Amino acid sequence: MRLRTRLSLTFGLLTLAAAVIASYAVFIQIYGNLETLNSERLDSVATLVARSVDPENIVRFTRPSDWFNPDYRRLKRKLMDFQRANSLSWVALYRYDGTLFRAIADGSEQGDSFCPDFPIYDVSENMQKALSGEGGLVSTYTDAYGTYLMANTPVKNRSGEVVAIVDVSLSASKLTEAKKAAMTRAIAITLGIMAFTILVSFIVSSRLAKPVGLLEAGARELASGNLEHQVQSASGSPLEIAYLTGAFNDMAHSLLSSQNSLKMRITELGALCDLSKELSFAPNVDTVIESVLAKIVETTGCSCAAYLSREEMETQAPDHYVPAPDIDTEDYRNIVTQETAEVAETLNSGKINVSTAGNPHFLVIPVRSEDRIPGVVICFGNLRNSTATSTPTSASTSTPTSSSTSSPSAASQINQLAVPGMVTNAVTDPFSESKIHFAETVTGHLGLVLEKIRLYELAITDGLTGLYVHRYFQGALEREIKRARRYKTETSLLLFDIDHFKNFNDTYGHQMGDVVLSQVAGIICGTIRDNLDIASRYGGEEFTIILPETGTESALLVAERLRVAIASHEFTNGVTTVHVTISIGISTFPVHSEDRMTLIARADEALYECKEGGRNCCRVWEPKS
């Protein structure tokens, strides 16, 4: 304790003396510059007043005050505002009439009659200079009211003639108050520095006087099971204590490495289990991809993971990003597209690409779907410490590489451990083999899911039109009828075909017929509601549209809009341009039917009535009388 006290007193007194000297020097500097700063402020205010008044109006004002002149009242209020806003003692305008400097207006609340007139020999030298057109004139003067700091600036008309003089004054008592305030602030700063000095001196002395105590505290932490704790060795410790500290840290590092390896394996198994559950109930491809990317970011600790398909590679516009919670996505949007060479190499070779040569490090993993590689997953290291420097550990390679064989210190080794949930520094911690293995495993799951989704979409999608097939339509209609029945809403069905399409094929050929079918499907997709209405190719040239939560009148509007769009469209294959029309039959659940098959049949009957009625029209099913 006595050693700590002696060190505290020594460092405290030395630092305190330095603080007092520095505070005194700062005060002297502020005190000396205060009058200069006020002079510059007065000159700025005087210049601003001179520029804000209208010299043409000033020459028309007479004495005594023109209170009935609105321009004069505005000038008076303006001067009062300047005086109050800048805490000035005096703001006034004078005009020299050849004999006297006569007051035009001032910012005092006592009225302009308080402002006297002065002969030219009774005014300051600066006012006489301002009369000749000079500006930036600041001086100190004394009168019966006290000592003032005064600034004078001329007011010139358009021809450059001086029509008035601006007089701006600040009482010396206010300067004294400002200097006292500066002294008070300097004393407060000095007292604060003294308190801070005493605290810092005590802390520094404690660190220097207790190397053995630090070693004991660190050993107790390690004994309690806190393997991440690093035993600190105080500066100037004996060599024996330094060796003992290193031995404790090496032991903790070895135990922590084994513990973290086990935790990583457990975390990987848990993450794969959770991911399998998420993928089983994912509603669409986007959710599947984002779930996989999020799991990679969460488990490996990388800052951002992105999925880049072959199509997105061509446009360099990836759509799927999952950053870490504390990372802005915009930090990586441009970086992803910069690694085009590595991405292209992975797409072509199917090999993992690891780069630790730049900042951030990145990892490119191919997504395998049967014998195809539809895209890649890119994992990025950390940009949080982008200003850190390091020596590249390896160039871009096609397989994971082991770390350097040199023996780092225990502290650096522990700092580089990949602990689950811990985001490590990408500058010093390249992707480890365990991270790469986990990311590759998860990416493999993504490839399997994408392949299943691709096969499912091929099974339910018509290859020519891109619409759903007949089998999917039947199931979707059944589901929508059940939903409408449960929530007591209406669901409408449009059934339509292309008029005279058999003759069209005989005339223009089946290839032109395929062009028409494909473009009709495009018009349908552009007419219906995304992610709500369901369009299908019923068979041949027949199409259906399911309109959930849509009554008969609304369905008729949709049908008519679709009919007009197709009738006005020019179908072309680049050589031949044709026009076609459609006929649409409409039925609604539960207005026209309570079951799926009857609903389809009645829409078909309405379509037949369109054919009988001349085609190119829409009909709602009505019971026959």
| Active site members | 541
Within 13 Å, how many C-alpha atoms sit on residue 117's CB side? 12
Q: Strands 353-355 and 320-323, how do they pair?
A: unpaired
Cβ 585 vs Cβ 607: under 8 Å: yes
Q: Which residues contact 586 (CB under 8 A, 6 or more apart)?
A: 492, 493, 494, 495, 552, 555, 556, 559, 603, 606, 618, 619, 620, 621
- Give the alpha-carbon dihedral of 602, 604, 610, 616, to 10 degrees: 130
Distance between CA atoms of 351 and 67, rounded to whole angstroms? 91
What are the backbone dihedrals phi and psi of residue 238, each rounded to the nearest 5 degrees, phi first?
Answer: -60, 155
Structure tokens at 392: 């590249």
- Helix ranges restricted to H, 461-567: 470-487, 501-508, 510-527, 552-567
Shortest CA distance to 76 belongs to which of 104, 101, 54? 104
User: How far, CA to CA in Å, does 217 sit from each of 209, 226, 230, 415, 458?
Assistant: 14, 12, 10, 20, 66
Q: Which residues contact 408 (CB under 8 A, 6 or more apart)?
A: 416
CB-count burial class (<10 Å; 0-12, 13-18, 19+) for 202: middle
